[in-house]
Amino acid sequence: MISTPLSSGITKREKEILLLILEEHSSQSIADRLQLSIRTVETHRKHILKKTATKTLVGLLKYAIAAELIPGFYHQTGVKKT
């Protein structure tokens, strides 16, 4: 079961880092881009994995799709939105 964004408690900064991870940026690249230390980025990564109850990049991608966090990506679940 994938956590929802509301129950996961992901912060704005964690979401920003999550999207960069999904764009295949390394921790060093993310640190440089956001002007953070690499240690801070690695801590955010650890928190993201814990909050989303995932262990891998594939798990993070599945979470992001289900939570509709990827701009412009549409995932049809078979449930109509009203």
Structure confidence at residue 6 (pLDDT): 45
Helix axes of 27-34 and 38-52: crossing angle, nearest 10 degrees: 110
Nearest-CA neighbor of 33 among 43, 68, 23, 58?
23
| pTM for the whole structure | 0.76
SS3 assignment, position 81 = coil
Per-residue pLDDT reduced to its tens digit, 15-49: 999 999 999 999 999 999 999 999 999 999 999 99
Per-residue pLDDT reduced to its tens digit, 42-68: 999 999 999 999 999 999 999 988 888
Which class would CATH give 5-66?
mainly alpha
> Which region among 2-6, 10-14, 70-74 has the lowest average model confidence (pLDDT)?
2-6
Neighbours of 18 (CB within 10 A): 24
Cα gap 23→17, rounded to integer Å = 10
